[in-house]
């Protein structure tokens, strides 16, 4: 995992979009806005994931492969993933193969780009504005973990502004907003 401030240009979103010089964002700053991170790799990787899942009550899981050949309705789905949105549940992703970028809004509403690769386990809290894109490798295979039944509902900005999970998120992590 590597996180940095996003340089907003009209370039392909799958490019790194890193400022020059780069402004790195540390794990403590991610934690401040409710984003959690672990790296689980090696022979015990799955045990580590299972332990985190047990502690955090993640009861269900599935897998998604995002690549033009494997994801049905690829163009529409990738466009939806990159539209700024929230979920009413945590977004929990354990990266099995490939790479991608989660962009999250920080406490100043700036985009922070989080680059994820195999072994990274990333948790985005319910109510945080974010989006996702592949990188130019065009491939990621990830485990999705869920507290309850698997579901994926994205609520876009700005209609999510009045959503209860959004207001609860702000109260917990960005009380000055």
Ligand X SMILES: CSCCC(=O)/C(O)=C/O
| Nearest residue (CB) to ligand X, 91 versus 135 | 91
Q: CB 10 → ligand X: shortest distance, Å?
A: 21
In the complex, the residues that contact ligand X under the rule CB under 6 A are: 64, 66, 81, 91, 93, 100, 130-132, 140, 142, 152
Q: Is 125 helix (H, G, I), strand (E, B) or coil?
A: coil
Residue 90-129 contact track with Fe ion, rule CB under 5 A, x = bound:
-x--------------------------------------
Give the residue among 72, 63, 108, 104 at the shortest CA–CA distance from 85: 104
Q: CB 114 → Fe ion: shortest distance, Å?
A: 12
| Nearest residue (CB) to ligand X, 44 versus 70 | 70
Distance CA 173, CA 32 (A): 7
Q: CB 51 → Fe ion: shortest distance, Å?
A: 24
Q: Is 44 helix (H, G, I), strand (E, B) or coil?
A: coil
Strand partners, 39: 120
3-state secondary structure 74-112: HHHHHHHHHCCEECCCCEEEEEEEEEEEEEEECCCCCEE
As a whole number of Å, the CA-based R_g of the chain is: 16
The listed partner (Fe ion, ligand X, none) that binds 142, CB under 5 to 8 Å by sort, is: ligand X
| Nearest residue (CB) to ligand X, 75 versus 176 | 75
Whole-Å CA distances, 16 to 5, 19, 25, 62, 109 = 11, 9, 15, 28, 19
87 is in an annotated binding site: yes
The listed partner (Fe ion, ligand X, none) that binds 100, CB under 5 to 8 Å by sort, is: ligand X
Size of the site for Fe ion (CB under 5 A): 1
Residues that bind Fe ion (CB under 5 A): 91
């Amino acid at each position: 995992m590597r996180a940095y401030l996003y340089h907003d240009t009209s370039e392909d979103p799958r490019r790194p979009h890193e400022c020059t010089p780069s402004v790195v964002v540390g794990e403590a700053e991610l934690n401040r806005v409710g984003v959690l991170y672990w790296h689980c790799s090696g022979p015990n990787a799955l045990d580590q994931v299972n332990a985190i899942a047990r502690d955090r009550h993640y009861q269900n899981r599935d897998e998604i492969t995002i690549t033009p050949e494997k994801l049905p309705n690829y163009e529409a789905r990738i466009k939806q993933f990159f539209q700024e949105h929230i979920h009413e549940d945590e977004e929990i992703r354990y990266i099995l193969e490939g790479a991608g970028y989660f962009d999250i809004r920080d406490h100043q509403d700036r985009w922070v780009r989080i680059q994820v690769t195999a072994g990274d386990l990333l948790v985005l809290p319910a109510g945080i504005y974010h989006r996702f894109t592949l990188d130019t490798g065009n491939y990621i295979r990830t485990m999705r973990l869920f507290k309850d039944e698997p579901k994926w509902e994205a609520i876009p900005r700005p209609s999510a502004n009045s959503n209860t999970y959004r207001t609860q998120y702000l109260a917990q992590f960005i009380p000055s907003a």
